[in-house]
Structure 1
Amino acid sequence: MARGAALPLLLCCLGPLLGGSAGRRRAPLGRAVSDWREDGEEAASRQPQGWSLPLVGLDYLEILSSWYCSFGMCCEPGDCRIANNITGLELDLNRRLHGQHLAKEVILRAVRGFLETPQPENALSLSFHGWSGTGKSFVARMIADHLYQDGLKSECVKVFISLFHFPHPKYVDLYKAHLKKQISETAQLCKQSLFIFDETEKLHSGLLDAIKPYLGHSDSINEVDYRRSIFLFLSNIGGNIINEVTLDFWRAGRAREEITMEYLEQHLRRQLRESADGGFTHNHLLEENFIDFFVPFLPMEYSHVKLCVRDAFLARSLPYTEDTLDEVVRMMVFVPKEEQLFSAQGCKSVSQRINYFLP
C-alpha cells in the first residue's frame, strides 16, 4: 500500500480509540464559549462537557502511534499532538499581548525552562492574576495553540471554568471524583497535558486540595506520571494591588516597564494571603508553595486598548483609520475617576464594539 494511502487509513483506525476525537464530537460548552470569547479569542468553543475519556486499547494505540511516527510525521517528542513551538509563542506574545512586559518574561522563561528540562521534578504550575480583560485567558489560549497541534481542541488540553463545571458546593465530593478522573485519564492519554482552571477564585477549596497531589514531586500516582503536565490557574484576585502599584509608578512619573517582578510579587503575595475572596487564597496550593510562578497582568492603558482595537480590525480584514481606533477606545470606561488611566474592562468586548463602525 502506498504511504499516502496508509496514513489516512491509520487515522481512521485510530479515531474510535481516541475517545471521540473523530466521529463522536460532543456538544460545545455553552457558557464557556462566551467567557473565553470576551477577551477576543475562540478559546473553549469546542471543549467537550463530558468527563470520561476511554482508555481501552491504550497499549495498541501506543504501538500504532509509534508505527505512524516511523513515517517521519511526528515531532521531536514522538507525539504528533505535541508542537512545543516556543519560538512561535514568543513571537505571538510580542505581537499580540500589549502592555504586559512582566507576563511575557515570566511565562516564556517558565514554559521554555520546563520543556527543556529532560526530567522535571514536578508539574509546572502558573497562577495568572489581574483584572478581567487584561489577557489571562488570551495567553492561556496562546500557550495551548503553540504547545499542541490542535490548540484548545487537543485531547491533551482541558479547560475547567469554576461556575460552569462546578456550580453547586453541595456536590463538591462528586466534582472531586470527576476532576481526579479527568486529570488522571488525560495524563494517561498524553504524557504532556495542559489543564486550565478559569475563575480560580470561585473554585471550592476542596477541589483545589484535590489538585494538590498532581503538583507534587511524586514520581507517579497510581502508575501515572504527572511531572510533564502544566497547570494554569486564572484569577482576578490580586488585580487591585497590581493596579495600585502600576498607578503609583505612573503618579511618580515612572514608566510601567520599570516595575520589576521582584517588587510586584511581594505585594501580590501579601494580598493573596490577606484576601477573603474564595478558597484559593487560603488553600494548601498557596500556603505550601505549590505554585511555581505568580504571573501579574497589569491594567490596560489607552494605548494598549487602541492596539487591541487595531488587532480586532486586522483579524477581520477590515479597513480602519487612526480616528476610528480612537473612537472605539473612547467608548470604553476608564478609571480611576480622577486620572482616567486604566480601562475598566481591559480589552474585553473590543471585537464587539467595532461592529458599531461597520458600514
Structure 2
Amino acid sequence: MSDQESSTSTSQTEGEVEGELDEEVDTEMEGEGENDSKHRDSPPLQMSSFSSTLRAVIRIKQKYQVLKMRRQEAEGNGALTGATGRTSPKIFTFDGTTPTALSVPQKKKRKRRRRVMYPNRGRRRAPPKPARSRAKYCLYLLFAIVFVQVYNAIENLDDHVLRYDLEGLDKTLRREVFGQQGAVEGLLSHLKEYLSTYVHNKPLVVSLHGPSGVGKSHLGRLLAGHFRSVVGETLVLQYYVLHHCPQEADALQCAQDLSALISEIVERAEEEEKIPLFIFDEAEHMHGEILDALLQLVSSKQSNEYLNAIYLFLSNLGHSHITKHMLHNSSSTSMAKSGRHSHFVKELTPILRNTLEKLHVLWTEADILPLGLLEKGQVMECFLDEMTREGFYPDHTNIERLAGEIEYYPEVGGHEYSQTGCKQVVAKVNLL
C-alpha cells in the first residue's frame, strides 16, 4: 500500500496530494473510531491490537511529513522556473524569497536639479557671472609700465639734485653767513626746485638786495666756490661791473662781449648736461646796455640752451626801504631771525619790486629776496670768525671791544642794528 501511494504521489499535483492526505487521515480516524466503539462494546483490548494501532499512527505521521516536504520542494522549483501552480494563501514572512528580493536592484538615476531662478522681488537672486575680458590684463600691464617709468624719473631727479650737493651748500651757508637764515632758506628752496630737473621753460633769476655789509658779496663768493667744485671752473662766471666795464662809454661793447661769453658757457654746459651759474655783483652799477642784453638772454625762448641757467644778482638797490622797515617793525625782524622769514619777505617784496621795476624791466623776471640788517651779536660772530681765520686767540673781551667801535642805529625794541654790518670787520682785525 505504501509503495503504490508513494509512486502515485510523485505524479500528483499539490492539490491532489493535499486531498489524498486529508482522505487518508479521515479514514484512519474513522477506523480508529470504529475500533474504539468496538473496544467499548468488546471486552478489554489486548497487547497486539494496541501495538498495531500505534504503528498505524506513526506511519501516518511519517507519510504526512514526507508529503509536506515534497510540497515545499515543488513550491520552490516552481518559483525558480517561473511555473504557475495552484494558488495558496500567502503568509507574510521576512524571508527574502520573493521575486523582487531575488531580482538585481537597478540604480535609480538622479535627476539633475535645475538652478532656481528667483524673481526680481525675491529675497535672493543669483548674480550673473561677469565675462572675463583680456583688456583687463593689458590695463594692468600699462599700470606697471607707468609705475616703473615714474619711479625711474623720480630716481633720476634725485640723482640730478645730488650732483649739485645742495645739502653741503646748505651747511656751508648756515655756517658762514650770519644773520641771514631766512634769505638762505629762500635761496636754497629756489635752487632745489630748479635743479631737480634738467628741462625748464625759463632760467632761474634770483635777486638779493640789502644794505651794505649784510653779506651779499660773501654769499656770492660762497655760491661761486661751491658750484665750481660740482660743475667745473668754466661753467661759473662772477661778473663785477666796476672791474669788467668801468667806463660807461664802453657799455655797448661790454654788453656784446658779455652776451658772447654767456652763450659760449651755456653751449658748453649743454654739451656736458649741466646747469651753469652767473653771478653779477654790485648790480646797482650796471649800465643800461648790459641790462638790456641780460634781459634778452633771460626772457629768450628761441632755444632750450639759454633756458638752463642760473642768474644771481647782488645789489643794494632798495636798501633804504629795508632799513626803514626793520627799524619800524622790530617784531617782524625778530621773526626773521628766528627762521620765519616768510612774513619779512611778504611785506618787503612788493615794495622792492615796485622800486626795481621802475629802474629796469629786468627785475620783473627775477625772484626778489631781501637781506636784513645785522644786530650787534651777529657782528660779534663776524669778528670771532675772522679772528679764528687769521689765527688770533678768540678773546671775548677783545671781540666785544671791537664790536663796540662800529656805528649802530638807535636801539629799537631791544635790538641794536649795525649801520655798516660786517663791512669793517676785516679792516679792524688786520689792525690787531
Q: Give distance in 2, aligned partners of 1:253 and 1:185.
A: 43
The number of residues matched between the two structures is 267
1:270 — aligned with what? 351
Q: Give distance in 1, aligned partners of 2:198 and 2:206.
A: 19
Contact kept in structure 1, 2:330 and 2:415, CA below 8 Å: no
Q: Give distance in 2, aligned partners of 1:83 and 1:134.
A: 30
2:360 — aligned with what? 283
Contact kept in structure 1, 2:321 and 2:351, CA below 8 Å: no
Q: Does 1:226 align with 2:306?
A: yes
2:258 — aligned with what? 179
Q: Does 1:241 align with 2:324?
A: no
Q: For structure 1, which segment, 255-264 or 177-186, has the greater mean C-alpha deviation from structure 2 after superposition?
A: 255-264
Q: Give distance in 2, aligned partners of 1:116 and 1:300.
A: 33
Matched AA of 2:325: V
1:165 — aligned with what? 244
Which SS does the other structure have where 1:171 is aligned? helix
Q: What are the superposed Cα offsets for residues 250-269 of structure 1, whole Å, 9 maximum, x if unpaired?
A: 27895543764355344344
Contact kept in structure 1, 2:409 and 2:416, CA below 8 Å: yes
Contact kept in structure 2, 1:335 and 1:344, CA below 8 Å: yes
Which SS does the other structure have where 2:306 is aligned? coil
* Deviation, structure 1 residue 336: 4.2
Contact kept in structure 2, 1:238 and 1:272, CA below 8 Å: no
Matches within 5 A, 1:68-217: 84-149=164-229, 154-191=233-270, 192-216=275-299
Q: Give distance in 1, aligned partners of 2:256 and 2:316.
A: 26
Which is greater in Rg?
2
* Deviation, structure 1 residue 271: 4.2
2:389 — aligned with what? 315
Contact kept in structure 2, 1:334 and 1:340, CA below 8 Å: no
Q: Give distance in 2, aligned partners of 1:323 and 1:340.
A: 21
Which SS does the other structure have where 2:242 is aligned? helix
Contact kept in structure 1, 2:182 and 2:336, CA below 8 Å: no
Q: Give distance in 1, aligned partners of 2:334 and 2:308.
A: 40
* Deviation, structure 1 residue 109: 0.1
* Equivalent position to 1:343, from 405, 410, 418: 418
TM-score of the aligned structures, taking structure 1 as reference length: 0.67
Q: Give distance in 2, aligned partners of 1:212 and 1:188.
A: 18
Q: Give distance in 2, aligned partners of 1:124 and 1:171.
A: 28
Which SS does the other structure have where 2:238 is aligned? strand
Q: Give distance in 2, aligned partners of 1:149 and 1:256.
A: 31
Higher helix fraction: Structure 1 or Structure 2? 2
* Deviation, structure 1 residue 100: 1.0
Structure 2: tracts of 5 or more residues without a match: 1-158
* Deviation, structure 1 residue 213: 2.3
* Deviation, structure 1 residue 352: 2.6
Structure 1: tracts of 5 or more residues without a match: 1-75
Q: Give distance in 1, aligned partners of 2:215 and 2:342.
A: 17
Q: Give distance in 2, aligned partners of 1:107 and 1:135.
A: 14
Structure with more relative contact order (C-alpha pairs < 8 Å, separation 6 or more)? 1
1:355 — aligned with what? 430
* Deviation, structure 1 residue 241: 1.4
Contact kept in structure 1, 2:165 and 2:230, CA below 8 Å: no
Identity %: 25
Q: What are the superposed Cα offsets for residues 65-97 of structure 1, whole Å, 9 maximum, x if unpaired?
A: xxxxxxxxxxx66xxxx9612111111122121
CA RMSD of aligned residues (A): 2.8
* Deviation, structure 1 residue 169: 2.3
Contact kept in structure 1, 2:208 and 2:369, CA below 8 Å: yes
Matched AA of 2:392: L
* Deviation, structure 1 residue 341: 2.2
Matched AA of 1:307: E
Contact kept in structure 1, 2:349 and 2:369, CA below 8 Å: no
Contact kept in structure 1, 2:220 and 2:281, CA below 8 Å: no
2:141 — aligned with what? none
Matched AA of 2:255: K
* Deviation, structure 1 residue 123: 1.2
Matched AA of 1:174: Q
Q: Give distance in 2, aligned partners of 1:253 and 1:154.
A: 37
